[in-house]
Amino acid sequence: MTAPGLRLRWTMGLGAVCLLLSGVGGCCTPSDDTDGDGIPDAQDNCPFVSNPDQGDMDGDGLGNPCDDSPNLPDADPNDANTADPNVPGATAERILVDHTATAGLSSIPSALIDAVKSGFRVFYGHTSHGGQLMTGAEMLYAEDARLAVNQGTGSLSVEEIDADLGEYGDTSWADTTRDVLDEAGNTINVVMWSWCGGVSNNTEEDIDAYLGAMSQLEVEYPNVVFVYMTGHLDGTGPSDTLYVNNNQIRDYCRNNDKVLYDFADIESYDPAGNYYAWESDGCAWCATWCASHTCPSCIECAHSHCFNCYQKGKAFWWMMARLAGWDGS
């Protein structure tokens, strides 16, 4: 069985999916081959991920790369990792984006990177700390032009707003989200909000208010993926408020199959897997690591070292590829 990821449920037949892929006013022919594997979409058992052998281990009609349980026939034959985020009714299942995600960027197939850029429209509320992710995305684009964010046609669109999740149970960001998603012509299908220092100050009840507001948005906008986040490190230890609150968020996401971008966990480990329990958002281990390894540079990584931003950007692209149907392997 593949690792838990996003499953997209086909609520339409292939013909309707074909119309979605062709765009408004476009046309689709029986010979179209979205994933370039030589099998026309109309006959392909996994039309968005290349599988020229058409392997189907469990005989349920879903190609192995699109099947979250390739060894077991699905109770619902329309249940598939189609890797098409435009299919109405798409629902996210548990994706935990932690420090291990930073090592997986080179494994993402080019077709999935293209699927991310063409299929997703992201709304991201953040202030300075959350901006580390976007700085990391810029650093990656400088290395690999395929990883284009907000570079116009052919890039991933991320609409940013200068606001964050606040503190002390503030949920005004939820109404801001509704305002954005209710705009005429809105095409956003992924929503992210990051913290500033709120997780270090909030109570258990405040974190519950955050989790409840996110859950309510998921009910109101079932075709949008909502990405949960932990708060950045603050130099305190495992028994202190930040850790307790971050673990509350993690437990909720694990137990309720959410998408979690684990901001703090990404900051807590160097690429060799060494854990820094008392680290801060300044990322002292980043400087130590880069003193003996080649690291990319940046103009500025807010509050931190450029390598911390770089790691955040890699984890972001890993997450987006998972949302597009990649199994992470």
How many CB atoms are closer than 10 A to CB 187? 9
For residue 42, the model assigns a pLDDT of: 73
For residue 292, the model assigns a pLDDT of: 98
> What's the full length of the chain, in residues?
329
Among the listed ranges 32-36, 68-72, 85-89, 265-269, which one has the minimum average pLDDT value? 85-89
Structure tokens at 87: 């299919």
Strands (DSSP E) contained in the chain are 8-9, 79-80, 95-97, 121-126, 157-162, 190-193, 225-229, 259-261
Of 54-58, 79-83, 270-274, give the range with the top mean pLDDT. 270-274
Query: What average pLDDT does this structure show over 79-91?
Result: 38
Pairing of strands 121-126, 157-162: parallel
For residue 157, the model assigns a pLDDT of: 98
Residue 308 pLDDT > 60: yes
Write out the DSSP string of 142-161.
HH-TTS-BSSSTTSBEEEEE
CA 42 to CA 136: how far, in whole Å?
39
Instruction: Spell 203-214 as b/e; 16+ CB within 10 A means b.
Output: eeebbebbbebb
Give me Rg for the CA atoms of the chain: 20
Residue 56 pLDDT > 90: no
Residue 18 pLDDT > 70: no
For residue 92, the model assigns a pLDDT of: 57
For residue 43, the model assigns a pLDDT of: 80
Please classify residue 24 by burial: count the beta carbons closer than 10 Å to its beta carbon, then call 0-12 exposed, 13-18 middle and 19+ buried: exposed
Among the listed ranges 41-50, 52-61, 167-176, 252-261, which one has the minimum average pLDDT value? 52-61
Pairing of strands 79-80, 157-162: unpaired
Query: What average pLDDT does this structure show over 285-306?
Result: 98
Among the listed ranges 6-20, 157-171, 216-230, 263-277, which one has the minimum average pLDDT value? 6-20
- Report the mean per-residue pLDDT for the chain: 84
CA 280 to CA 264: how far, in whole Å?
9
Query: What average pLDDT does this structure show over 155-164?
Result: 98
In this predicted model, what pLDDT tens digit does every residue of 183-212 receive, in sequence order?
999 999 999 999 999 999 999 999 999 999
- CA of 6: how far to CAs of 77, 171, 272, 277, in Å? 16, 26, 28, 30
Instruction: Spell 261-278 as b/e; 16+ CB within 10 A means b.
Output: bbbbbbbbbbeeeeebee
- Is this prediction's pTM over 0.85? no
Query: What average pLDDT does this structure show over 43-56?
Result: 77
In the structure, what pLDDT confidence band is assigned to residue 231 with cuts at 50, 70 and 90?
A: very high
Query: What average pLDDT does this structure show over 114-131?
Result: 97
In the structure, what pLDDT confidence band is assigned to residue 37 with cuts at 50, 70 and 90?
A: confident
Percent of the chain with pLDDT over 90: 71
Please classify residue 69 by burial: count the beta carbons closer than 10 Å to its beta carbon, then call 0-12 exposed, 13-18 middle and 19+ buried: middle
**328 - beta bridge partners?**
none
Pick the residue with more confidence: 191 or 10? Answer: 191
CA 134 to CA 190: how far, in whole Å?
15
For residue 187, the model assigns a pLDDT of: 96
CA 24 to the chain's CA centroid: 26
Query: What average pLDDT does this structure show over 106-114?
Result: 94
Percent of the chain with pLDDT over 70: 80
Structure tokens at 207: 């974190």
For residue 46, the model assigns a pLDDT of: 81
For residue 36, the model assigns a pLDDT of: 80
For residue 45, the model assigns a pLDDT of: 81
